[in-house]
């Protein structure tokens, strides 16, 4: 491996290092891979492709840095993490344009919300760790105390649809807990994670505390999850990849936290706020449908179904499909040619199985090769694949129900359980339905509300574990119970 600390490429005129970041240094690899912008399918440059050697170096660096980082305690680590959050906030504009150029997400959303959330993630967990004292109580003459202890090196593997925000979601609690980390960015969108390494250096994080190894999942990702010195694995991505990682982790009895796929229901009762429900339904096309939380299965009560369908059609017709850098754009491109073919395959198979296209259903060739029209299927056979599997594209289905019981049964008729959204004007019904749906998060008359104090994660095929508040630290920490006989000490 050779150190190339000064070589950078320009991504939307922002200098970004294409190298790994290991032990406080930029490190190159013998191999590389090309990164393509989904906006126009042009090359953004080649980045270093890591494998077992780079992963070993990064984990070794993190292991060396761990004792000193852990010994700082929550307050000492908080100084560095608050500084990191400040650095992120000073680079919002660069982060936003780089991520949009890299993964095709809407620039306005990145600038106004998503990148700021990255700084919030870091700062929130730094502050929460300082409050995490652990419980203490006395029972039958014995005093019990619960301690949250750092565990060692954490492997953080992040997805391409919101790489910076979802990386900081893991980085914040892992570092605040006292662990050191190795990040494996998504190969389709690695650049904002590379910038995060620069920000960590600017914030003064000690070498080895935060490391970034770029590469293909089957190479860098596999080497990282198999490494014997990794104490925790946090992964966000597909259920299929989650199963592979889970098998490897099980062999070494390494705790895992998985946020996986979704096939979430969006349930609309006749007594709901109709306009709000329609706006929320059409909002599921956000990020070209490349959102694991998206309510892609729209379930509407029969008496309002026809009116709802017409309103949804009108709302979808007003969406602008195009360049995500333009403020008027509502729906941008799919991430890669490979992913486009996957989405097209789902649409074609749905048609072949007898589902009816209410609108959309085609690639928008006049806009570009990776732009797929917002699409809605109706009159779908109950056995159809489109109702069962995650498409991860701008494709929704609409079904109708008669009763509350039928709505609950349809909402739960999936192997996934990441999220659900329910619209109703009845508070009692909201409580009943919200409790009956099997999902990690159920939103009532709102969507995408996310407070970091609340637990977040998936049920069933959608994941293992919860993130947020104490739940994050229960994963990233070893929890120790210290039991002492009261009155047994003769000295202080």
Kindly report the length of the chain: 492
HSE (side-chain half, CA atoms, 13 Å) at 98: 25
Q: How far is CA 227 from CA 47, 154, 171, 223, 351, in A?
A: 23, 11, 19, 6, 45
User: Rounded to a whole number, what is the distance in angstroms from the first to the last CA of the chain?
Assistant: 53
Closest CA to 300 of 423, 132, 193: 423
- Whether the Cβ atoms of residue 367 and residue 394 lie closer than 8 Å to each other: no
Number of Cβ within 10 Å of residue 71's Cβ equals 11
**What is the secondary structure of 152-163 as a DSSP string?**
SEEEEE--SSSH
Give, for 442, the enclosing helix (H) or strand (E).
strand 441-444
Q: How far is CA 337 from CA 5, 18, 154, 285, in A?
A: 32, 22, 32, 19
- Whether the Cβ atoms of residue 382 and residue 392 lie closer than 8 Å to each other: no
Structure tokens at 161: 């649809």
**Which residues 6+ apart lie within 8 Å of 492 measured at CB?**
none
Distance CA 204, CA 286 (A): 36
**Which residues 6+ apart lie within 8 Å of 306 measured at CB?**
none
What b-and-e string marks burial along 310-342, b requiring 16 or more CB atoms within 10 Å of the CB?
ebbeebbeebebbbbbeeebbbbbbbbeebbee
Distance CA 196, CA 212 (A): 9
Active site members: 259, 292
Distance CA 187, CA 99 (A): 13
Closest CA to 400 of 271, 297, 274: 297
């Amino acid at each position: 491996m050779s150190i190339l600390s000064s070589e950078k490429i320009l991504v939307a005129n922002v200098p970004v290092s294409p190298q790994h970041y290991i032990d406080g240094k930029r490190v190159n690899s013998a191999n590389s891979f090309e990164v393509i912008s989904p906006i126009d399918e042009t090359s953004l440059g080649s980045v270093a492709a890591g494998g077992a050697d780079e992963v070993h170096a990064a984990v070794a660096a993190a292991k060396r840095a761990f004792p000193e980082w852990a010994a700082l305690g929550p307050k000492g680590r908080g100084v560095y993490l608050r500084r990191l959050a400040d650095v992120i906030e000073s680079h919002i504009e660069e982060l936003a344009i780089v991520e949009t150029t890299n993964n095709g997400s809407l620039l306005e959303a990145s600038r106004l919300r998503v990148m700021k959330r990255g700084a919030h993630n870091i700062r929130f967990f730094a502050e929460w760790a300082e409050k995490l004292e652990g419980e203490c109580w006395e029972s039958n003459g014995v005093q019990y105390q619960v301690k949250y202890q750092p565990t060692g090196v954490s492997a953080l593997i992040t997805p391409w649809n919101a790489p910076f925000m979802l990386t900081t979601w893991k980085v914040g609690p892992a570092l605040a807990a006292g662990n050191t980390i190795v990040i494996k960015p998504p190969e389709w969108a690695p650049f904002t994670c590379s910038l995060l390494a620069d920000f960590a250096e600017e914030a003064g994080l000690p070498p080895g505390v935060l490391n970034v190894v770029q590469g293909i999942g089957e190479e860098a990702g596999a080497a990282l999850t198999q490494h014997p010195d990794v104490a925790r694995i946090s992964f966000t991505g597909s259920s299929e990849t989650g199963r592979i990682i889970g098998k490897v982790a099980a062999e070494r009895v390494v705790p895992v936290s998985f946020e996986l796929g979704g096939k979430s229901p969006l349930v609309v009762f006749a007594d709901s706020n109709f306009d709000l429900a329609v706006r929320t339904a059409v909002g599921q096309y956000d990020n070209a449908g490349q959102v694991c939380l998206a309510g892609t299965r729209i379930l509407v009560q029969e008496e309002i179904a026809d009116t709802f369908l017409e309103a949804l059609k009108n709302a979808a017709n007003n969406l602008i499909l195009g360049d995500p850098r333009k403020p008027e754009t509502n729906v941008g491109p799919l991430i890669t040619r490979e992913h486009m073919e996957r989405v097209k395959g789902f649409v074609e198979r749905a048609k072949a199985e007898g589902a009816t296209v209410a609108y959309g259903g085609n690639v928008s060739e006049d806009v570009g090769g990776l732009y797929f029209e917002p699409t809605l299927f109706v009159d779908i056979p109950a056995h159809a694949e489109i109702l069962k599997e995650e498409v991860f594209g701008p494709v929704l289905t609409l079904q109708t129900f008669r009763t509350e019981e039928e709505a609950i049964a349809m909402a739960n008729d999936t192997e996934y359980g990441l999220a659900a959204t329910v619209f109703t004007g009845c508070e009692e019904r909201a409580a009943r339905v919200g409790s009956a749906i099997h999902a990690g998060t159920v939103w009532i008359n709102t969507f995408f509300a996310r407070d970091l104090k609340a637990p977040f994660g998936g049920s069933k095929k959608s994941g293992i574990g919860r993130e947020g508040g104490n739940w994050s630290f229960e994963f990233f920490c070893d929890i120790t119970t210290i039991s002492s006989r009261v009155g047994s000490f003769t000295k202080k």
